[in-house]
Amino acid sequence: MNAEIVAVGTELLLGDIVNTNAQFLAQELAAMGIGVHFQSVVGDNPDRLRQTLELALGRADLVITSGGLGPTDDDLTKQTICRALGVELYEDKRAREMLEAHFGKTGRVITPNNYKQVMLPQGCVPFYNEFGTAPGCAVEKDGKVVMMLPGPPREIVPMFLKDGREFLARYGDGVIVSTNLREYGIGESALEPMVQEFLDGANPTTALYAKEGEVLIRVTAKEKDRETANKMCRITVNNIKAVLGDVVYGENVDSLEQVVVGLLKEQGKTLATAESCTGGLLSMRLTRIPGASAVFEYGVCTYANRIKAKMLHVPEAVLEQFGAVSPQTALAMARGVREEGGADLGVSITGIAGPEGGTPEKPVGLVYVALCDGENAWVKELRLHRSGREREYIRSLAAMQALDLVRRRLCGFPLIGAKSGEDYER
């Protein structure tokens, strides 16, 4: 089965919005083993919409549309598809009830054009919309399958995950199971040869997705039943983890901060943060995780030297002798924030995010990240540099490095690249 994704909406042609629906559907179809040969975008123009849909129906087994299901005159997707397929529309009772309930709840009056939305193709499988007013559906005719989904991402995503996937499962010949591993510490190009044997595998398949400073590794198995698929997926996941070791920071997790907050909770420990160049990005990421308050109480953004001295007791002599961007200052910041915050662990970041402020000795991208507990301290020197949108890139990677240092300390993994604080305090 091969598919075409057709997005309908003039706002896409004008560039008002980016077509994230196409990416979402493409990922989902790829995970189900359904190949996508084309994606198309067309506006709310009857002729061009008809032309696009007929072309798609001619060259694909499965056509999935997004958008054009709403109540206004330029919402034409269903009508155009039905004409092309030779299928009539009917008024769907449950869709009508849901529409009326929706309007009743918000106290608005239903205008007649709203009822257009509850007209569905004869013989379709309706997908009732829990997050909007326009239902979607899937219909099969003459060996072609057409799935019509709403345009807004907050509607199409849950609808596809709930009804769309289930509908398509009948066309698959097995069960598909995926596991996502997240890796931090080895770049994509160095990672690729390490896992080449898995990337070459046909089932389970393994794919790498480079994200900001980290890599998502997706393992997908397709088998006759869920138990076998799970088992096959598990074997490959374990093999990959055995090859990569402690750079794999999580399985089916969203982010490094989620793992760090989870580890702190498990171990009943608290963390305090002191930031200079990242300006609060690290504490912002930690507090993105619901319930972070159990492990995080105090973060400070000491942007000025006098504030580093006042709030974190970084000795003026250290600032003068070594500068604000130095291992010594980073260590003093970590110790200071740990003590002031009464936390188990203190972590700090100080560096030059640019674009100004670099020197030959201390260039833009030089960052120190330090970590301390009650006994020991460590500091890591980073040289982050990339042309274009440099400042945000440096800040983001510095925060990731700090999170990874904390994770490694909590897991008892080696703090790769970090030096002992004693090296600077003799």
Which range of residues in 28-36, 120-128, 168-176, 243-251 is near its own copies by CB under 8 A? 28-36
397 binds its own copies (CB under 8 A): no
352 contributes a contact to its own copies by CB under 8 A: no
Six token digits for residue 319: 């600032």
CB of 26 to its own copies, least distance (A): 3
Interface with its own copies (CB under 8 A), residue from 306, 414, 422, 425: 306
- Cα angle 248, 252, 254 (rounded to 5 degrees) comes to 90
Distance CA 397, CA 214 (A): 9
Q: Does 283 bind its own copies (CB under 8 A)?
A: yes
Asked if residues 395 and 367 have their Cβ atoms less than 8 Å apart, the reply is: no
Question: DSSP assignment, residue 142?
Answer: T
Examine residue 206 and tell whether it contacts its own copies (CB under 8 A).
no
Q: How far is the CB of 31 from its own copies (least distance, A)?
A: 9
Taking CB under 8 A as the binding criterion, the range among 142-150, 295-303, 365-373, 400-408 that sits at the site for its own copies is: 295-303
- Separation between Cα atoms, residue 223 and residue 230, nearest integer Å: 9
With CB under 8 A as the contact rule, which of the stretches 244-252, 328-336, 353-361, 405-413 interacts with its own copies? 353-361
Exposure of 313 by Cβ count < 10 A (0-12 exposed, 13-18 middle, 19+ buried)?
middle
Q: Should residue 287 be labelled a site residue for its own copies when binding is judged by CB under 8 A?
A: yes
Closest to its own copies by CB, 115 vs 298, is: 298
Does position 410 interact with its own copies (CB under 8 A)? The reply is no
Least Å from the CB of residue 279 to its own copies: 3
User: Which of 406, 404, 339, 342 lies closest to 371 in space, CA to CA?
Assistant: 406
Nearer to its own copies, 102 or 419 (CB): 102
CB closer to its own copies, 129 vs 424: 129
80 close to 49: Cβ distance less than 8 angstroms: yes
Q: Which residues have C-beta within 8 Å of that of residue 95, sequence separation ≥ 6?
A: 117, 118, 120, 126, 128, 135
Binding part of the chain for its own copies, among 140-148, 232-240, 284-292, 325-333 by CB under 8 A, reads 284-292
Q: Rule CB under 8 A: which of 131-150 touch its own copies?
A: 131
Closest CA to 207 of 243, 228, 185, 180: 180
Which neighbouring-strand residues pair with 120? Answer: 90
171 near its own copies, rule: CB under 8 A: no
For the stretch 106-138, what's the b/e string if a residue is b when 16 or more beta carbons lie within 10 angstroms of its beta carbon? Answer: eeeeeeeebebbbbbbeebbbbebeebbbbbbb
Q: Is 72 in the site for its own copies (CB under 8 A)?
A: no
Beta bridge mates, 66: 7, 149
Nearer to its own copies, 30 or 415 (CB): 30
* Residues numbered 79-98 forming contacts with its own copies, rule: CB under 8 A: none
Find out whether 212 and 257 touch, Cβ atoms under 8 Å.
no
Q: Binder to its own copies among 8, 32, 34, 36 (CB under 8 A)?
A: 36
Q: Three-class SS of residue 368?
A: strand
Among 296, 368, 378, 424, binds its own copies (CB under 8 A): 296
Which of 328/396 has CB closer to its own copies? 396
- The site for its own copies, by CB under 8 A, has a size of 75
| Shortest Cβ 403–its own copies spacing (Å) | 14
Q: Does 214 bind its own copies (CB under 8 A)?
A: no
Cβ atoms of 84 and 29 within 8 Å: the answer is no
Residue 108 touches its own copies, criterion: CB under 8 A: no
Q: Is 128 in the site for its own copies (CB under 8 A)?
A: no
